[in-house]
Amino acid sequence: MIPLARPAFGPEEEAAVAEVLRSGWVAQGPTTARFEKEFAAEVGTKHAVATSSCTTALHLAVIAAGVGPGDEVVLPSFTFPATANAVIYAGATPVLVDVERASLNVDPDRVEEAITERTRALLGVHLFGAPCAIERLASLARENGLFLIEDAACAIGTRIGNRPAGSFGDVACFSLHARKVVTCGEGGLIVTDDDELADLLRSLRTHGVDRDAEVRHAKGAAPPAARYVRLGYNYRLSDVQAAIARIQLARLGEFVEERNRIARRYDAAFADLDGLRSPPAVETGTHSYQSYVAVVEREAPMEPDALRAALAARGVSTRVGTYAVHREPYFESLFGERSLPVTEEAARRSIALPMFNGMAEDDLETAVRAVREVWQKNPATH
């Protein structure tokens, strides 16, 4: 099978891990601190705080926003459930809204309609590496005195105009999961320009401690014992993971360029297939193509499930794009049934095709040929 995704690891990542293992410091420490500085420079923010995952980063971001019981956070329903879960972890209510048909990203008009006196924050998602209307969300946040969180889990390397994704919100959260452009298997980051927020986030990720690991364990120093000043969590990234992520981050430019080349090959190959809609191009900025997600339109010659099954039979892995969170059983049990038609259609009809760095030309051509053959063997009947 051609996999949906595969990490692009090589001897440099192996050597970086070996160096950390030899150092004797494998938990969060100096390598993580170096990675944080490098990541903040890449995104163009003052601070980056590494965490154990993007989910834990989102949880801390919601807490840092001051969100709690009785509050609401507005976010798109077409996203991975972790985005909404982070709000629930804080005891607040995720208000799930519909997305734009063309971009599959959150519809800012629906966000504006959903703002109430209970709204404390807006949460925009740059889905699949495509930038959402974050500038409009930033304006809504300013106009209504709301905290803005960017869920940039898929958006390392994404740019809006000349600005990196993650540089618009009060905080932004990134993922280092195995399917992401930059990965160390699992991990996350929160970025911010706010010094006080950064200090709070560092404390929250380490059990509520009053100072970070580098200060607590500085050589030749005898600082006072650490104090635990608030409820905190064990949401840290290890130096082993950070060592891998540092090498990956240094390759970000080449990774994004390669993914765009793969996306252009898909776009060209599917341009004449009526009913198969490729991801929209980014007019001013950069799509990082964490995933290549097409949409099987209603007028297509076959249904999405049939396409996925036919491609699997030809050795090509696929997945749904992502989920209509409001239709998942847990969320329906909390909030009841509701209709968000664009989200529901996107969840039914989106299909993620293989997209990863180091994808062999033969595998790319096999995936392209498989889609075209299946499509052409199922001519439209209307």
Q: Report which of 110, 125, 115, 122 is spatially closest to residue 79, judged by C-alpha positions.
A: 125
Q: What pLDDT does residue 211 have?
A: 80
Q: What pLDDT does residue 382 have?
A: 36
Instruction: Give the other-Cβ count within 10 Å of 337's Cβ.
Output: 7
Q: Which residues pair with 256 in a beta bridge?
A: none
pLDDT < 50 stretches in the chain: 381-382
Q: What pLDDT does residue 69 have?
A: 98
CA distance 340 to 345: 9
Q: How high does pLDDT run on average in the chain?
A: 95
Name the DSSP class of 326: G
Q: What pLDDT does residue 378 have?
A: 80
CA dihedral (293, 299, 305, 309) in degrees, to 10, reads -90
CB 151 within 8 A of CB 189: no
Main-chain phi, psi angles of 187, to 5 degrees? 155, 170
Considering the entire predicted model, what is its pTM?
A: 0.95
Q: What pLDDT does residue 218 have?
A: 60
Terminal C-alpha separation, the chain: 33
CA distance 28 to 25: 8
CB 286 within 8 A of CB 157: yes
Was domain 11-98+105-250 assigned CATH 3.40.640.10? yes
CB 146 within 8 A of CB 160: no
What pLDDT, in 10s, does the model give residues 187-211? 999 999 999 999 999 999 999 999 8
Q: What pLDDT does residue 224 have?
A: 74
Q: Is 4 exposed, middle or buried (0-12, 13-18, 19+ CB in 10 A)?
A: middle
Q: Is 247 exposed, middle or buried (0-12, 13-18, 19+ CB in 10 A)?
A: buried
Catalytic residue among 46, 180, 219, 377: 180
Length of the chain: 382
Q: What is the CATH code of the structural domain delimited by 252-376?
A: 3.90.1150.10
Q: Angle of helix 252-270 relative to helix 239-250, nearest 10 degrees?
A: 60
Q: Is 37 a catalytic residue?
A: no
Domain boundaries, the chain: 11-98+105-250, 252-376
